[in-house]
Every structure is written in C-alpha cells, then in structure tokens.
Amino acid sequence: MTMNLTQKIIAAHLVSGEMTQGAEIGLRIDQTLTQDATGTMAYLQFEAMGVDRVRTDLSVSYVDHNTLQMGFRNPDDHRFLRTVAQKYGIVYSPAGTGICHQLHLENFAVPGSTLVGSDSHTPTAGGIGALAMGAGGLSVALAMAGEPYFITMPRVVKVRLEGRLKGWATAKDVILHLLGLLTVKGGVGKVFEYAGPGVETLSVPERATITNMGAELGATTSVFPSDERTRDFLKAMGRADVWKPLAADDGAQYDEEVVIDLSALQPLAAQPHMPDRVVPVASLDGLKVDQVAIGSCTNSSYADLKGAVSLLAGNRVCAGTDTLVSPGSKQVLKMLAREGLVEPLLDSGARLLECSCGPCIGMGGSPVSGGVSARTFNRNFEGRSGTKDGQVYLVSPLTAAMAALRGCFTDPATWGEAPAVADLPAEVPSIADLFAYPPQDGAGTEVVYGPNIVALERFEPLPEQLQAGVLIRLGDDITTDHIMPAGAEITSLRSNVPAIARHVFGRVDEDFVTRADALENGVIVAGENYGQGSSREHAALAPRHLGVRAVIAKSLARIHRANLVNFGILPLILEDKADYAQLEQGCTVTLDTTLLAPGAVVQVTVDGGAAVAVRNDLTAKELDIIRAGGLLNYVRLSKTA
Ligand code: SF4
C-alpha cells in the first residue's frame, strides 16, 4: 500500500487505533519539549504521576518565555525547572539560550520522529521532517511518562509547491498566502504535508517558518520531507548521524490538495488582529510604522536575521520607529557575530534583545498606544503585544527591515534587488555545551520549589446532575489570550493556579471572577472557534479552578478542546447554532450527565424551562476522563484499578 509521509510516520508510531480518518489513534512519542510558561505545570503533573524517570528518547525543558527575572517568581520557576530536569532525566536549556522551537530544530529534532510540546508552535520541527504537535502540558507529562499521545487520525492535505521564490517574497509569504486562502479555521483536523518540485528550493529554516505558522491554520501539524537540504542542515549542525531520507511514496493518496506557485508570490502582511487578514505589503504603502520587531520562533534564523541586517547595515532606522531584534538562539547570534553583523545592526539604531520570545509574549517591547507594529511573529491577536489598541501586522524580516528604515510600509517594488543570503555560514558554531544534561541517575537530586509553586488541587468528579450558571456569553474566535491573558505579571503566576485564576477573562470582563466565586458550578457559552490560539492549558485549568464545568460553543479549537477534557470540563457543541441566543449570561442550565455518550445529542434545560440540544464529539475514554474530574484523576484511577 502506498502511503504519504504523514501516514508513514504515524504507522511507525501507532500503538492503538486504526488509521482511518476521524478515528482516535494513540502514538508512541519519541521526544517532548516544554517551555517555561507551560513547563512548570507539566512537570508538577509529571511528578504527580509517580514515575521515576522520563521514558522518551529525549525530553527538553526550555526557558524562553519569562526570561526577565522580575521579582522572585521567575527565578524560582527556573530553579524548579532546572532541578526537576536533573532528577527525571530531562535536558535543560537555561534562560537566554534561545527560543524552544529554534533551538529544538537546530539541536535535537530528528526526521521521522514524533514530538509533542507544550507549545502550539511545536510543529516548527516539521521543517526537518518530524511529526511535531502542540499539546497541553498534561498530555506532554503523560508522554514523558511513556503513555501514548492520542489524536484523531487527521485528513492529510498535500501542499504542492511549484516554482521558486523570487524577488522580495520569502517563506513567511508562503504561509501568509496559505492563511489568506484557508483562514485560521482552515486546518482543523488536518496535517499539511508539503511536496512537489518547490520543496527542494527551500532551506530547513524556511520550511520551519512555514510549518511554524501552520499552527495559525489550526492544523494538527505540518511536515516537509527529509531530503538533501535536510541532510545539509543537519550536517552543518553537527548532527548528520540522525538524518534519513523520508518522503511520500509515488502515487500516495491525499484527502485534499492545494497548489502554490512560489514564483508568483509577493510580500504579504497579515493585518490586525488575525493572522488570516492577509493583504499585499504594496497595498499598505505609506502606512506609518511606529515599531518593528524582528524575531520569534517564526523568523529568527540566521538567514532571516542576516537578510534584515543586510538592509539595515550602513543605514539608520527611522527615528520614530523603535526597532527590536531578538535572535532565535545563541547559535544564530554567534553566527551573526562571527560575520561582523552585530556591529552594523547596533549602528543602525536597532535594539538587540536577548535570545528569547521577548516581545512576542509581551515580555517587553510593547508598541505605543494605538501604534502600528510590524512584526515577524506568528500572532497578532488584539492585546497580545501588551498594548490594548496596538495594531500588529505580521510580515517577513525583509518587509520589517524596510519598514524600520523608511518608518512606513513600503512597496518592495520601490527597492532594488532583494539581498541574496546563504542558508547558513560555512562553519556553524556549536552551543551544545550550554545545555544542562541530566545525570544517569538523578534520584538523589533535590527538586527545589519556591513559594510561588503550589501543588495541584484534586478536582471533583463530574456530578450526575449538573446545575450550573452561565458565567459569560462570548462571541466568535475567542482566543486563549482572551481567556487567560499573558504578560509578565500574569504568567509569573503560572505555577500557582489559585493566584493566576484571579485573571481569567480579566481583559474581557473584569467581573467574571467575582461571578464565578459566587457560584459552585459555572458554564461558559461561546461562538465559533472558541479557544483558538496557543496551547495554554491554564486557559482550561484556571476556569476549572473557578468552578467551570462545561463550555457550550458553536465550535471549539482543537488544542483547547483537548485541554478542557484534560481538566474535566465538558466541551459541548450547540446542535442548532440559533440556540446560542437562549443561553444568556446569568441563566442556569441543568444537564443529566448520565445521558452523555460519545456523539450523543442531549438536552440542556435553561432556567428550568426551554431545552437546548447539545452534542459532543468526545470518545468514550474522553468522557470517562471528564467523569473522573480530569486526566490526572483518570490516570490515578487506572493505576489503582
Ligand atoms: Fe515564543 Fe512567540 Fe514562538 Fe510562542 S510564538 S514560542 S511566545 S516566540
């Protein structure tokens, strides 16, 4: 039987289920990664499972989100992450070493492997041919404990690339083009598998830019074949031994196909406040830009930054355009330094930030009030920049550098030739010594908890008769940023659920927490695509702490839906979307949960009167997890059964 690449990697890791589209499958996971904002909780959950050492081939704990040590919380968290890594056999990447996905691509990702990471941009490693998926921290903790990772067998979309990028068009414009075409909902339940003659024209970092932002399509993941370009990249990284060729079989079948002619692409920008609001940069010509931010896991490779620096070098950025540059890793920074590119960058007036997520996660670098920020990042949700009325445009590093120099968006046609930049320098410096590798036996290591790290509470099982108040009714496309805002002050509370829960919906509705406090059980009502965006499991965990027992929505985003299940919250879908109008804030709903069965339509009574039909897309196991009060309870129960 011929197989596409996705099917091949799945078949090689399948531990349960049938590879028929829509069926639940369990996959053996080779590697895991965490970042600090989600990692502390993932390791608390891992510890709660009572396993003495990680059971993956490799697990890495990165510190890249809250690298600035404001107050005691972040350094305490870093110490916890370092010591827990030593004890349980996890590689630790200290603050400032780089962004998890960039570092993982360069140092650890393996073609044909499976990777789950507690970060939604884990698919970045698809650029090297790994099946890499973003997941909640609890799913990652389970994978570290040797448990399979469960997904729905995806539809596989062949993205056939033809031609070659030319002029000012870059890999960023490939994925922005796809987002404009398919929208932020276009990838749900799908894997985007790249193929065709255009693949070999793209370097591994360019491929990784594309797979990184596949997350914005809502895709399960995206993957490129592993070919000669992959081998060259791994060789340059000193890891030629892990290379192997991987591609779809000739004549392999796909569920859908999209064709992109790379040579027809032009520079694009995603307008505020959604990554799929894509227009040609030329159409924004002359729009004033107050800030430029270059970096993030999408666009901070050597070639990305060298391209930008080659424009900035010998010039000065516009006085009114604050220009920030964050290299993706110390490896990237060392490559730039060796080539003498740091000095011209500094002389241009740009600010060189630490190798970390930085402004992408609101860790400094917020734009001025109402200001336009041109960012090479992957998300431009309202308020994510830290400035509520900031207007964030997502662009390539070349477009960003042009905006920095002119102080406004510029039609690239008015510039001369685009710079030609090699993928990598002839010699790539290593940073392998900067990681802390765990000892063979970490049993004697003491895990150090700071006062901000609070043990996990045990949630109650789902009651048979659920009576709950509608705490809030929301519109479409609510993101995990809306539910559980980020930013330095809030994310520093991530290991302290009672404290961080005080901020749930804080930027949407200041009284939400007070209403939740007043009720034993609550329900959230939402429109389409509820919970899109990051894998932030606190967006499920913190509402659960506040007593939220169900979400009733028109539709739900994939990772958030999984997180709701993991923390014992019922994800319910309105059978008739018009019934949304009946579920007003303040009403009380009742549900006989004993009637719930996989795919069943059940009635929810509103204020003891009218009934609203809701269905679920839960498996029997997911229902058992919710009935148990969440995955941790379920795992504990199955161990004692
Ligand atoms: Fe970091 Fe931004 Fe990438 Fe998330 S999207 S991992 S915050 S750089």
- Which of 61, 64, 66 should be mutated for ligand 1, with most atoms under 8 A from CB? 64
What are the φ and ψ backbone dihedral angles of 291, each rounded to 5 degrees? -150, 145
* Domain 268-416: CATH class, spelled out: alpha beta
Most informative mutation of 36, 361, 494 for ligand 1 (most atoms within 8 A of CB): 361
Q: Are 183 and 281 in contact (CB under 8 A)?
A: no
- What number is the average pLDDT over the span 516-530? 97
Whether the complex's predicted ipTM is more than 0.90 is answered with yes
Segment 413-439 mean pLDDT = 95
- Asked whether the beta carbons of 80 and 453 are under 8 A apart, the reply is yes
Is the pLDDT at 579 greater than 80? The verdict is: yes
3-state DSSP percent of the chain in helix, strand and coil, to 5: 35, 20, 45
3-state SS, residue 174: helix
* CA separation for the pair 387, 352 (Å, rounded): 21
Q: What is the DSSP string of 64-76?
A: -SS-S--SSHHHH
Residues near ligand 1 with C-beta < 6 Å?
Answer: 64-65, 99-101, 119, 121, 296-297, 357, 360-361, 377-378
In the predicted model, what is the mean pLDDT of residues 347-354? 98
pLDDT tens-digit map of 601-638? 999 999 999 999 999 999 999 999 999 999 989 987 87
- The pLDDT score that the predictor gives to residue 269 is 98
Q: Distances in Å between the alpha carbon of 590 and those of 298, 407, 463, 572, 593? A: 45, 56, 11, 13, 9
Strands annotated E in 586-626: 588-592, 601-606, 611-615
Distance 518 CA to ligand 1 centre (A): 36
Contact 401, 307 (CB under 8 A): yes
Whole-angstrom distance, CA of residue 110 vs CA of residue 105: 8
How far apart are the C-alpha atoms of 32 and 477, rounded to whole Å? 29
3-state secondary structure 428-467: CCCCHHHCECCCCCCCCCCCCCCCCCCCCCCCCCCCCEEE
Q: Which pair of tokens denotes residue 538?
A: 């606190």
Segment 147-172, tens digit of pLDDT: 999 999 999 999 999 999 999 999 99
Averaged over 583-598, what is the pLDDT? Answer: 97
Q: Write down the pLDDT at residue 346.
A: 98
Partners of residue 592 on adjacent β-strands: 465
pLDDT over 70 at 641, yes or no: no
pLDDT above 90 covers a percentage of the chain that reads 89
What are the structural domain ranges in the chain?
A: 5-264, 268-416, 465-640
Same CATH fold assignment for domains 5-264 and 268-416: yes
Percent of the chain with pLDDT over 70: 100
In the reported structure, the alpha carbon of residue 379 is separated from the centroid of ligand 1 by a whole-number distance in angstroms of 9
Cα of 50 vs centre of ligand 1, distance in Å, is 30
Residue pair 123/219 in contact by the 8 Å Cβ criterion: yes
**Element (H or E) spanning 343, and its range?**
helix 342-347
User: Could you tell me the distance, in angstroms and rounded to a whole number, from the CA of residue 133 to the centre of ligand 1?
Assistant: 15
* Domain 465-640: CATH class, spelled out: alpha beta
User: β-strands 570-574, 548-553: how paired?
Assistant: parallel
Query: Quick one: 5-264 is in which CATH superfamily?
Result: Aconitase, domain 3 (3.30.499.10)
Smallest CA separation from ligand 1 atom 2, residue: 360
Q: Residue with the nearest Cα to atom 3 of ligand 1?
A: 297
